[in-house]
Amino acid sequence: MTTLDDFFGLRGRVAVVTGATGRLGQVMAEALAVAGATTWLVGRDQGRLDALAAKLPGDCRAARCDVTVDEDVAALGARLRDEHGRLDVLVHNAHVGKGGSLRTSKPSDYREAADLALGAFQRLLDATRPLLEAADGSPSIINVASMYGVVSPKPHLYDTPEAGNPPYYGAVKAGLVQLTRYAAVELGPAGIRVNCVTPGPFPGDGGDRELVARLAQQTPLGRVGDAAEIATTILYLASPRSSYTTGTNVVVDGGWTIW
């Protein structure tokens, strides 16, 4: 009899989640760990990573790494090579959130955002490509973009222009969607799949209730997302059961971008 583990189990596989201590990063890492993967939690704060590793089930390992620093990413790749000799799942989720508008943005903001989304992807790929190629069972790269890489923020939802999503964030997330397509074409012959997940409104608990209510009204479902609702999409794309899916952008936004 076929079991759920036969469909989505990741036992014996190795996964990396960048931005692991973030609200969505935590549930992504948990989903991979529960499925049986040895899951490396990557971020800038070792203390937060250690605390998360202790909280999550399964084999989770904390690895401090700034994905904008060449030496850090190279060291991460070396650790993965020495300990496993392979990498099956790479989730590129690193993100720094802040508000802004065209009035307040600077050219340096665009450069920093591009380095975190696009430059970091290249660093991670350079450091792990041989490990992905060494894996069997349809290795998977998953980029995490944003609905604001598909549509523009609606200024009237926010109390001030500077409280909204900054222009450079959506610009680089749109670039990440295109980079996903490009990488899927180049890496496909090696059997490496590259896909993208585009989350919608996932504001989390403890935020501005009035803002959350306004965001909820923008979706056909009439609500914002719960972080757990991103987990199954990540698990599907990480699993060999999605072995014929590459170059796609899976939008998980409650319908925000359809109208």
Q: What is the pLDDT of residues 44-96, one digit of tens each?
A: 999 999 999 999 999 999 999 999 999 999 999 999 999 999 999 999 999 87
What does residue 228 show for φ and ψ, rounded to 5 degrees? Answer: -60, -20
pTM, full prediction: 0.95
Instruction: Return mean pLDDT, the chain.
Output: 94
Q: What is the pLDDT of residue 98?
A: 82
Strand ranges across the sheet with 14-18: 60-64, 38-43, 14-18, 89-92, 140-144, 193-199, 249-252
Q: Describe the chain by its helix, strand, coil percentages, rounded to 5.
A: 50, 15, 35
Q: What is the pLDDT of residue 206?
A: 65
* Residues with catalytic roles: 169
Q: Which domains does the chain carry?
A: 4-250 (3.40.50.720)
Give the mean pLDDT of 240-255. Answer: 96
Count, residues in the chain? 259
Give the mean pLDDT of 140-161. Answer: 93
Give the mean pLDDT of 223-233. Answer: 94
Q: What is the pLDDT of residue 162?
A: 82
Q: What is the pLDDT of residue 132?
A: 98
Indicate the helix (H) or strand (E) that contains 140. strand 140-144
Closest CA to 202 of 27, 35, 16: 27
Give the mean pLDDT of 166-195. Answer: 97
Give the mean pLDDT of 189-206. Answer: 92
